[in-house]
Structure formats: structure tokens, C-alpha cells
Structure 1
Amino acid sequence: MDPQPPEDEFWLFGYGSLIWKPPPHFDLRVPGYIEGYVRRFWQGRYVHFSHPPWDLDHRGTPETPGRVVTLIDRAHWEALDDHHATAGEKVWGAAYHIPSSKVAEVREYLDIRENNGYSIQYTPFHPAASTTLPANTKTPIHCLVYIGLPDNPVFLGPQEPQQLAEHIVRTRGPSGENKEYLYSLEQALVELSPESGDDHISDLARRCHAIEAKARVVPSREPLKPDHLAEGIEADAGFGSQLRRVGSTEEQEEVEK
């Protein structure tokens, strides 16, 4: 593990929900990337305390944990049998600078928010080329990052993409539906940079949308044959005339009452 930077230089890197739900008290947000890791939806996630504040990523229950992203060291990932066999060299996200007066408070907040299997690491962060930084900022920026390491109890390892997508669509927890985490992450990555897409994320989102679309389809009724259709028209016509005949007398009687 890299040494911890001084508190007046506290930077946090977010590669999951922190991209669109940032920590409190940050005074600078910088899009960019880290290297040497692969982002995957291989971390289980659920709430295991019974009162607020709810963790912003708790989109499952102990019985049916949700799925959220973690980072896997690239060397370790290359030794695994991943159904998504390719991954970009960069993991895009956002880095946040926290003022020294707020570091202790933010660290306490993050330790609660990332308490379900995540460990603290430090990594070099490369700001996007179009970013304007304060004059005294050295790059790459030394960032804290929370990672669900493979030895944590809710690390799940390689997941078959279709089964993973089906699980994400049907799972929810105190913080909402698991699929909304996935869709929000995909949208947040699209908005960071023209280079910041993630094939693993976009493929899972596409699969989830397809599952939802299929669930909304109502089976069509078998079309009537021409002779059946004619019989139906005649029957409807006869029934309609009966209604009109009955209605004319009964309505008049009702008016007279």
C-alpha cells in the first residue's frame, strides 16, 4: 500500500457511485483515470444495519445481495476466466479534493458508506487532458480509493454476464433498485469524457434494458380466421340491436318513474 498523503492534500477517487453521488465538502471535482486496474460488477452489496443513514450503494438485502463495482488488480484479473475477456487500460472516474478542515469528517462518512467489504488503497490519478488544475497541483495526483479486494467476504469473482444482468434487474434494497445503480454509472461515465466508456458496464446495461423490455411485452392474441370474424360481426350486430330495443323501453320507464 502506498503511504497516506498529508491531510491538506487529501484526494479521493471514485469509480462507482461516487461519480454521480459525490462525498460532502469537496471543493474540486476532476474527471480522469487510474491505471493498473479493471472495473467489474463483482462485489456483493446489502444493508446490514437497521437504521439510517442508509449506505448509498445498498441495493440488496442479506438474502439477495445487490451487485456493485469494485476494482481488480490487472495482473490478478488476467489470471481469471472472465466472460468479458477484454478491458481498457484506463479506469475512468472522478477525483475529489477535500479541504483539510473537513478531512476527518469525510473519512468518517466514507468509512460508513464503504463499509461492506471495501479496503483503503492509494493510487496515482491522471486528470483528463482538458482539466484545468490549481497551479500548485502535482500530477499524477495521489488518491485514496476504496476497493473490494478479492479476499473480502462479499467479493464474488467472475460472473456470467446474462445471469448477472438478470440478478441486477430483479434485486433491490433500502437504497433502491440495483439496476438504477448500473444505469446511473453508465450515464455518469458517458458524461465524463469521450474516452471514458466501459464495455463491461455498457454490455450489462444493454442486457438489463433488454430483459426489462421483454418483461413489458404482452403476448398477442391469435388472429381470428375470416369466417370466425364474420360470425363475430353478425353476433355483435344482433347483440347491439337487442340492447337498443331493450334500452328504448326501459329508459322511458325509468324517466317516467
Structure 2
Amino acid sequence: MALNGDRAPISDEFWLFGYGSLIWKPPPHFDHRGTPEAPGRVVTLIERSFWASLGDAHDSAPGKVWGVAYRIEAARVAEVKDYLDIREINGYTIHYTPFHPADGSGPIRTLVYIGTPDNDQFTGPQDPQTLAEHIYRSEGPSGLNRDYLLSLEKALDELSPESGDAHITDLSNRVRDIETKVAKGQAHVRLSEEPVSHEFHKVSSIDEQEETEKAY
């Protein structure tokens, strides 16, 4: 943080670690893949110690997380941080972590949002097939929840030859299998009984404006 005489503090540029939809859709943006009444599912980052306390069907986790780093120039810092505070701050804590570029260049200090156990929208471990069916049938103003999942799989696979995520690929395969069976009339997955509104509306609080898609 730099000071310029008697003027207000000027924020230096910073780097943001992007995961989930931030990998392929840079900030600022809002991305709703469910509704408040029927939330979809998206990924979130949590502390390894918290993950170790959960009974996850996927009983191993890699030692690193793949994502992207965005350089936020000084002129845009306030705008991006305001956006991120609305999008991420409810049930998240801010950390700084070294980002190691895939090209082997030196690490970059990046800001990252980490989910906390008291995040009301954190669902915890779920049966993978049940989760896949939920993702298949969820929809919100930004589109289908399964499009989010398949886009995430594609984005992760394209980062590096070793950047794929076994959990994401497993869920994606299950969703594709559901799609195939439904198309052939071999399976029926109940979709939302309520019509989906694709109209955006102004909300009165940060809690309400928090994305309706947290988190798997």
C-alpha cells in the first residue's frame, strides 16, 4: 500500500489465484448455476487439515492445486477487490500463497480465497453418483450446472499435461453417462419442479448477492 501525499492510499497491483470458473472466465463476473431454492454445485478450495477431517469418497488429494494467476493492475485493484468481497467473502478467508507457473519460472505471490468450515453453503462430501445427478438437473440464470462442470474439466485439462483433476473427471464422466442414458430413454432424472427464472434482480445485501452455487 503506497501513500501519495495527503491523498487516500493507492493500492499497488496484485496477483489473484483463480480456481473454478475463474480459470476460464476472468474476474469480474457473476456466474449463477443454480437458484436460491435449488442451488447447483461448484468447487471451492479448503484447508488440507479441514479436508482430512471429512469422510470423502475420494480418499486422496494431490499435493498441489492447478489454477491460473491473474495480474490485477493498480487502476483496477479496488474494483476487483470489491467484486471478490461480494463473491467470496461469506464463508471464506483471504490468504496469500506462492503460485508456481507451469513454465518453471519463479513463484508469484497470489491472493487466494479459502473456504472455511462455517461456510453455510459448504455441502461436504457427497456420494459421487448422487452429486452427478444433482449437477445434471441443476440450472440457473447463467445456464446448466453440468456445463460449469464440463467447462471446468476442459479448463483444467488444458492448463498442463499433468493438470487434470481425477474427482472432476469422475464427476464429468458420470454426468456424460447420465446424458447418454437419458437421450436413449434408458434413464429418467427428475429435473427441478419449479420454473427457472433467468431474470437478474438487485439484492439488498452481500449475503443475498453471494453466488447461489457453493460448493462441492
What TM-score do you get using the length of structure 1 for normalisation?
0.64
- Structure having the higher strand fraction is 1
The corresponding residue for 2:75 is 101
* Alignment correspondent of 2:6: none
RCO comparison, higher one (Cα < 8 Å, 6+): 2
Aligned-pair CA distance for 1:55: 2.2
Are the aligned partners of 1:150 and 1:157 in contact in 2 as well (CA < 8 Å)? no
- Which consecutive residues of structure 1, in runs of 5 or more, have no partner in the other structure? 1-5, 25-53, 132-138, 220-257
Partner of 1:243: none
Partner of 2:177: 210
- The one-letter code matched in structure 2 to 1:129 is D
2:19 match: 15
Higher helix fraction: Structure 1 or Structure 2? 1
1:90-129 correspondence to structure 2 within 5 Å: 90-114=64-88, 117-129=91-103
Aligned residues: 177
User: Which moved further from structure 2: 170-179 or 145-154?
Assistant: 145-154
Q: Distance in 2 between matches of 1:204 and 1:78?
A: 21
Matches within 5 A, 1:8-47: 8-23=12-27
Higher mean alpha-carbon deviation, 171-180 vs 120-129, is at: 120-129
- Equivalent residues of 2:91, 2:118 under 8 A apart: no
Q: 1:122 touches 1:143 (CA, 8 Å); kept in 2?
A: yes
- Residue of structure 2 equivalent to 1:67: 41
Report the CA distance between 1:66 and its aligned residue: 0.7
Shift of 1:102: 1.2
Task: Output the TM-score relative to the length of structure 2.
Answer: 0.76
Runs of 5+ unmatched residues, structure 2? 1-9, 187-216
Deviation at 1:80, TM superposition (A): 1.6
User: What is the CA deviation profile of residues 87-125 of structure 1, one whole-angstrom value per residue up to 9, with x for unaligned ones?
Assistant: 211110000011111111111222233356444222221
Larger Rg: 1
Query: Which of the residues 138, 148, 163 maps onto 1:181?
Result: 148
What is the aligned partner in structure 2 of residue 140 from structure 1?
A: 107
Match of 1:153 among 95, 107, 120: 120
Distance in 1, matches of 2:90 and 2:30, equals 9
Q: Aligned-pair RMSD on alpha carbons? A: 1.9
